Amino acid sequence: MTVNAAKTTYSIFSLSTKIPNLRLKINNTLLERENHPKYLGVTFDPRLTWCKQIENVQKNGIRRTSLLKKLAGTSWGADMKVLKKTYVGYVRPVIEYGMASWGTAAKTNFQKIERVQNQSLRILTGGMRSTPINYMEAVAGLEPEENADSVHQVPTSHKSPHAQTNCHQTKETVEADKFYSFRSANPQTP
Query: Does pLDDT of 80 surpass 70?
Result: yes
Number of domains in the chain: 2
Whether 69 and 2 share a structural domain: no
User: 11-57, pLDDT tens digit by residue?
Assistant: 988 888 888 888 888 888 888 889 899 999 999 998 888 999 999 99
User: 97-122, pLDDT tens digit by residue?
Assistant: 988 888 888 899 889 999 999 999 99
Asked whether the whole model's pTM tops 0.85, one would answer: no
Q: Which domain holds residue 142?
A: 49-188
Whether 13 and 78 share a structural domain: no
Whether 15 and 70 share a structural domain: no
User: 122-167, pLDDT tens digit by residue?
Assistant: 998 888 888 888 888 888 888 766 555 444 444 444 444 444 444 4
Whether 4 and 64 share a structural domain: no
Whether 124 and 91 share a structural domain: yes
Whether 30 and 61 share a structural domain: no
Residue 42 located in a structural domain: no
Whether 25 and 115 share a structural domain: no
* Three-class HEC string of the chain: CCCCCCCCEECCCCCCCCCCCCCCEECCEECEECCCCEECCEECCCCCCCHHHHHHHHHHHHHHHHHHHHHHCCCCCCCHHHHHHHHHHHHHHHHHCCHHHHCCCCHHHHHHHHHHHHHHHHHHHCCCCCCCHHHHHHHHCCCCHHHHHHHHCHHHHHHCCCCCCCCCCCHHHHHHCCEECCCCCCEECC
pLDDT attached to residue 164: 44
Whether 21 and 96 share a structural domain: no
